[in-house]
Amino acid sequence: MQAQQASKSRAAAEYVEFPDLEPSARSDAGTRTWTARGQNFVVAYSSAVAGDELTREDQSDEYVVVLPHEGCAATVRTPGDERSVTGQAVIVMPPGRSSVVADADCDLVRLFTVASAESLARTAVNQDSYEQPDPKVASFEPWPDPPGGHRIRAYPLSEVPVDPERFGRIFRCSTFMVNFLNPRTGVRDPESLSPHQHDDFEQCSLAVEGDFVHHIRTPWTRRMSEWLPDEHQACGSPSVAVIPPTAVHTTQSVGSGRNQLIDIFCPPRADFSARPGLVLNSDDYPTPA
């Protein structure tokens, strides 16, 4: 399913299911990459072939590599550094030249700001929905650079066990916040959902395993022409849902097995960052003054 859009004056949620679509790019080695976007960011989801290398020649800001599955294995490189990472992980890549090498046949996800990856944004399957920006989405402003300087920073999830008292494992950098939500087995209790809304930023929910239903309600305005019906959109994996500001939303896992969702925010969320201990790598990155 490709993206859905409402009227020009009011954005609707976007849904992109990658298996239903032709890839945005295919490398000589056979790696397939699909791209989807929000107003401030691009998600590049690659089904990578072992040994293939995904490069960035002149990256202007930090980007993020997500290893979404336990069977993932990749080596990330810059001219002065190299790290090999296995299993689920969040990896922050510095500006400048860098590459990601698949050490196995596996899925790799890269997250870029639109400012640093304009050409990738133009390949997004839902690019048409962003020809006119949504005025409700706050303009992207990068957060402060890390005091220790830019470098590869890898955060394997194996080092941070799932804690049922937390609602995920959250990491941030100067450009993104990534929340590996706690995986769920089976259907989420329909009597224990968590509808909420955001005033001025989009939420990108990346489904990497299992099946989900995104429940979306658009608040009414005085203009009936802007009213939208409630949505209960089923999406499999891998897929992206981009939820616009002010929309009341919650996502329900409905697969019988393991269901894994990853929430993405660009730039990072100030409210989460203000809660002590919630962001696991907060010592590496300062918040704005």
| φ, ψ at 119 (rounded to 5°) | -65, -35
For the cut 90, the answer to whether the pLDDT of residue 283 exceeds it is: yes
With a cut of 60, say whether residue 148 has pLDDT above it.
yes
Q: How deeply is 43 buried, as exposed, middle or buried, from its count of CB atoms within 10 A (0-12, 13-18, 19+)?
A: buried
Assess if residue 288 is contained within a domain. no
CATH number at residue 149: 2.60.120.10
Domain that holds residue 87: 14-283
Q: For residue 47, tell me if it sits in a domain.
A: yes
Q: Mind listing the pLDDT tens digit for each residue in 18-54?
A: 998 999 999 999 999 999 999 999 999 999 999 999 9
Record the pTM.
0.95
Backbone angles phi, psi at 3, to 5 degrees: -65, 150
Asked if residue 9 is part of any domain, the answer here is: no
* Distance in angstroms (rounded) separating the CA atoms of residues 96 and 113: 14
pLDDT-derived band at 165 (thresholds 50, 70, 90) equals confident
The tens digit of pLDDT for each residue in 87-119 reads 999 999 999 999 999 999 999 999 999 999 999
Q: Which helix (H) or strand (E) holds 119?
A: helix 118-122
What value does the mean pLDDT take over residues 245-259? 97
Is residue 71 a contact partner of residue 105, using CB atoms and an 8 Å limit?
no
Shortest CA distance to 125 belongs to which of 215, 42, 27?
Answer: 42
- What is the number of domains present in the chain? 1
How would you list the strands of the sheet with 153-156, edge to edge? 25-26, 32-37, 41-48, 106-113, 63-67, 89-93, 153-156
Work out the number of other CB atoms within 10 angstroms of the CB of residue 181: 19
8 in a structural domain: no
4 — pLDDT class (breaks 50, 70, 90): very low
1 pLDDT higher than 80: no
Task: Tell whether 7 is covered by a domain.
Answer: no
Q: What is the DSSP string of 57-82?
A: EEE-S-EEEEE-STT-EEEEEETTEE
Which tokens belong to 132?
């006119």
Work out the percent of the chain whose per-residue pLDDT is above 70: 97
Q: Report pLDDT digits (tens) over 183-215.
A: 999 999 999 999 999 999 999 999 999 999 999
Residue count of the chain: 289
Mean confidence (pLDDT) of the chain: 95
6 is a domain residue: no
Helix (H, G, I), strand (E, B) or coil at 209: strand
Percent of the chain with pLDDT over 90: 92
- Strand duo 14-17 + 239-243: pairing: antiparallel
- Pick from 246, 231, 241, 244: nearest CA to 197: 246
According to DSSP, the β-strands at 177-180 and 169-172 are antiparallel
